[in-house]
Structure 1
Amino acid sequence: MAEATTVDLTTSVGANLPYLRRYARALTGSQERGDSYAAATLEAILSDQGAYDRTIAPKLALFKVFHTIWSSSGGAMADTDTGLASRAQAHLSRLTSGTREALLLHTIEEMPLTDLARVMDVPEDEAARLVDIAYAEMAKSLSGRVMIIEDEAIIALDLESMVAEMGHQVTGVARTESAAMDLAKAEKPDLILSDIQLADNSSGIDAVNRILEQHYPDVPVIFITAFPERLLTGDGPEPAFLISKPYTEEQVRSAVSQAMFFSSTETLKA
């Protein structure tokens, strides 16, 4: 019976681990740092299976253990950051406690306020308040230049409109890898918003990797894909910011604001 219980636990945790890793990376702005928190979550569950609440949905149970660890650490990132990363951390430290977590859970992970409150162990009205504050603070964030790599005209127009409404300048839209390289050379972006599969079967991953390696290594990147689990396998470099298709306006706005706080994004294997 104990063996069957362990197998069930492994299955339920494993099915939701990619989403925990996505959330942890967006929260910390780093693959390495986010994965460290995810690993600590798994270790906590293995050492004390009672920490994993089987009376609630598996994803909520996993995220709740994560938040216990995150809260106990003070939500701290590495204190060895320098340069842009250090300034980003200083900016984050001025935000209202709990607001970024609430916003990411509500938008990127699409948790209703009831589930969000359960994960963060706060009353539902407090969860709603944190999300509202996050939106208000997000609106005050610094504006920047955003480059869009997207081959579908309607989606590109939608993204361009959302980014502009947030107060950011769109440097342009590229439909292919070669066009993306030309656009990047013309003007340095503060953020790249990129689809994975582009026109003429070129790769958004390849385009981003070349831009980061040849020109702007510290520019944060948000990837958009219909299959996020394929980029969250734990094998090799993976994105810190990832939006699933079909996306919502809230997801895009949240991811753009979060990514602007950080200074670098790991490259990916195509």
Structure 2
Amino acid sequence: MSIAALVAPQLPYLRRYARALTGRQDLGDARVAKCLERLADDPDRLDADLEPRVAVYRLFSEIWNAAPVHAGPGGSAADRRIGALPPLPRQAFLLTAMEGFTAEEAADILDVDPDQFDDWLVEAGRQMSAEMATRVLIIEDEPIIAMELESLVAALGHTVTGNARTHGEAIGLVERDRPGLVLADIRLADGSSGLDAVNEILKIADLPVIFITAYPEYLLTGKRPEPTFLITKPFRDDMVRAVISQALFFETRPAA
């Protein structure tokens, strides 16, 4: 396959990424053009050992990080939140949250070891969460896991409205103090379904939900709309932090 055929499908996404990095479409497009010029001069700069999209973004990142430019945050709330991040955590967040790369792929793109990438992603999550502090309801029947989640949520600057162990407790807590985010398990202490509780909650309040479960197969069935945010137990703390930031960044709505 020719270089042009490999690169062409990536261009709309690369332009989106460059605009988010720079804060302006014209500046982003200028950097994408420079990347294409470098590639035209030396096609071997595209790493043939990498998946094409990863290889294109890696070349762009090499050029970008050699002389980064940022015009400042754009006009939307999302742009302002992104623009407030330091350069490398900003790239880590955008590559995973907006461009959909895995942490391993994004670390390859930025040419860093996974531990360093995780540090940048955690820093991005910490700052993004501070910008979007909200109230969080936890639906979890295992006390130790609930305590760990409460600690993680509080460390990110959010307020825990409560921990529900049953369907009834969850609905009661939502009616008493409308949260801005829900972290939900599937199997609850009374034998009821956390999914049923969430469906009822969403009739009361429009808010993002993150499922944290040891039984992802109950949600990933392909028979109904699947959850946008799903974390499998046992979970890593940094994964929970990153997904909370993504959920609030993309789906934050004012809590009543």
CA separation in 1, counterparts of 2:187 and 2:244? 20
User: CA-to-partner distance for each residue in 1:55-112, whole Å, 9 max, x for gaps?
Assistant: 67xxxx59848979xx9xxxxxxxxxxxxxx96644455355522145669xx9563x
Match of 1:134 in 2: 124
The 1:67/1:232 distance shift into structure 2, 3 A limit, reads farther
Match of 1:100 in 2: 93
- Aligned pairs for 1:125-204 (under 5 A) are 127=117, 130-131=120-121, 134-135=124-125, 137-138=127-128, 140-204=130-194
How many corresponding residue pairs?
A: 184
Structure 2 unmatched runs, 5+: 1-46, 62-74
User: CA-to-partner distance for each residue in 1:105-163, whole Å, 9 max, x for gaps?
Assistant: 9xx9563xxx5333xx3322795785365256336422110000001111111111111
CA separation in 2, counterparts of 1:179 and 1:203? 12
User: CA-to-partner distance for each residue in 1:234-255, whole Å, 9 max, x for gaps?
Assistant: 3321111111100111111111
> Structure 2 length as normaliser, TM-score?
0.59
Question: Which is higher, the Rg of structure 1 or of structure 2?
Answer: 2
Q: 1:117 aligns with which of 89, 107, 116?
A: 107
* Kept in 2: contact 1:198–1:204 (CA 8 A): yes
Structure 1 unmatched runs, 5+: 1-52, 72-85, 266-270
The 1:233/1:110 distance shift into structure 2, 3 A limit, reads farther
Are 2:246 and 1:258 equivalent residues in the alignment?
yes
CA separation in 2, counterparts of 1:128 and 1:263? 23
CA separation in 2, counterparts of 1:242 and 1:183? 22
Which amino acid counterpart does residue 224 of structure 1 have in structure 2?
Answer: I
User: CA-to-partner distance for each residue in 1:208-257, whole Å, 9 max, x for gaps?
Assistant: 110101x112x111001123354234332111111110011111111112
Match of 1:6 in 2: none
Match of 2:226 in 1: 238
CA separation in 2, counterparts of 1:183 and 1:264? 19
CA separation in 2, counterparts of 1:138 and 1:228? 27
SS in 1 for 2:239: helix
Sequence identity of aligned pairs in percent?
A: 42
* Kept in 1: contact 2:122–2:242 (CA 8 A): no
CA separation in 2, counterparts of 1:191 and 1:66? 35
The 1:182/1:63 distance shift into structure 2, 3 A limit, reads farther
The 1:128/1:194 distance shift into structure 2, 3 A limit, reads closer
CA separation in 1, counterparts of 2:141 and 2:56? 36
* Kept in 1: contact 2:130–2:157 (CA 8 A): no
- Calculate the aligned-residue CA RMSD, in Å: 3.6
Q: Which runs of 4+ in 1 moved over 6 A?
A: 65-68
CA separation in 2, counterparts of 1:63 and 1:206? 39
The 1:124/1:110 distance shift into structure 2, 3 A limit, reads closer
CA separation in 2, counterparts of 1:67 and 1:246? 31
SS in 1 for 2:163: strand
SS in 2 for 1:234: coil
SS in 1 for 2:138: strand
